[in-house]
Amino acid sequence: MGSRKARYNAAVSSASSPPPAIRKNAIFRFAQLQLGLFGMALGIALMLGARLGLDPWSAFHEGLVIQTDWSFGRITQAVGLGLIAVSWVLFRERPGIGTVCNMLVIGPWIDLICGLSFYPQANDMVFGTIEFLAGIAICALASGLYIGARFGAGPRDAFVLGLARRTGRSIRFTRVALELVVLGTGWSLGAPIGLGTLLFAFLMGPAMQASLRLFGYTHRRPPTEDSAPARS
């Protein structure tokens, strides 16, 4: 009887404890997630330093700040929570560790980077454009890193992925379309826009899709009428 119980406890312990290879894989993916979030913060900091205008989401947040008494950080958190709720309810995009880390980590990283003594800030259009394009490239690469870690996308990326899957459109098209809507809303609310705003709106979608492919992430499209099985 005792040996049977011991074998049962050993089996339960083995089933509840993932193999070392799986644990190492999870650790590697978590490190990939954190590296991606740091890269996202670095890209955003570079775009801020370029002084060519706000990216569409920041313009939207700034527009809401102008129209309300809330702070920029509070608006950002509220919009993020709203997008998480909508993505979960409409698109079944459940928040994960990556979603939470996205909301908690990126902001402090941006503040830290912008406070460095060697933080680059553009003084002319040429350097500003180069810095802004570098920021877009880093943000796109970082998106592939942290989404590819499969701990859950950030609030805005999860919304893009869910909307792309629901509509059957590409991530590139969905992100560009959404960025333009967000940009127009922010501008109508009084937020400042510039060359960088337009660059981000048109380039981030294609760059993000290329990065996701690089890191092996593909979104699932709904079946079309042509691919659906025939009914008798």
User: What is the 3-class SS of the chain, one letter each residue?
Assistant: CHHHHHHHHHHHHHHHCCCHHHHHHHHHHHHHHHHHHHHHHHHHHHHHHHCCCCCHHHHHHHHHHHHCCCCHHHHHHHHHHHHHHHHHHHHCCCCCHHHHHHHHHHHHHHHHHHCCCCCCCCCCHHHHHHHHHHHHHHHHHHHHHHHHCCCCCCHHHHHHHHHHHHHCCCHHHHHHHHHHHHHHHHHHCCCCCCHHHHHHHHHHHHHHHHHHHHCCCCCCCCCCCCCCCCCC
What's the pLDDT score for residue 2? 53
Classify residue 225: in a domain, yes or no: no
**Predicted confidence band at 131 (pLDDT cuts at 50, 70, 90)?**
very high
Is the residue at 33 inside a domain? Answer: yes
Most confident of 2-16, 71-85, 163-177: 163-177
Return the structure tokens found at 57: 């989401």
Q: In the predicted model, is pLDDT for residue 12 greater than 70? A: no
Average pLDDT over residues 9-28: 54
Q: pLDDT-derived band of residue 17, with 50, 70 and 90 as boundaries? A: very low
| Lowest mean pLDDT segment, chosen from 128-132, 197-201, 222-226 | 222-226
**Separation of alpha carbons 123 and 143, rounded Å:** 28
Check pLDDT > 90 for residue 188: yes
Task: Assess if residue 203 is contained within a domain.
Answer: yes
1 or 73, greater pLDDT: 73
Please report the pLDDT score of residue 155 as a whole number. Answer: 86
User: Taking Cα atoms as reference points, which of 45, 53, 57, 110 lies closest to residue 82?
Assistant: 57
> Could you give the CA distance from residue 213 to residue 215 in angstroms, rounded to a whole number?
5
Q: Which of the two residues, 135 and 213, has the higher pLDDT score?
A: 135
**Inside any domain, residue 210:** yes
Tokens of 99: 């979603």
**What pLDDT is attached to residue 44?**
85
Inside any domain, residue 34: yes
34/112 Cα distance (integer angstroms): 15
Poorest-pLDDT segment among 39-43, 58-62, 68-72, 143-147: 68-72
85-107 per-residue burial string, b: 16 or more CB within 10 A, e: under 16: ebbeeebebebbebbebbbebbb
Lowest average pLDDT, out of 50-54, 130-134, 219-223, goes to: 219-223
Q: What is the pLDDT of residue 8?
A: 39
Percent of the chain residues topping a pLDDT of 90: 22
| pLDDT at residue number 36 | 93
Tell me, yes or no, whether 40 lies in a domain. Answer: yes
Query: Is residue 228 classed exposed, middle or buried when 0-12, 13-18 and 19+ CB atoms within 10 A define those classes?
Result: exposed
The per-residue pLDDT of the chain, averaged, comes to 80
Nearest to 165 by CA among 226, 224, 79: 224
- The parent domain of residue 56 ranges over 29-214
CB contact set of 77 (below 8 Å; sequence gap of 6+): 103
With a cut of 50, say whether residue 106 has pLDDT above it.
Answer: yes
Q: How many domains does the chain divide into?
A: 1
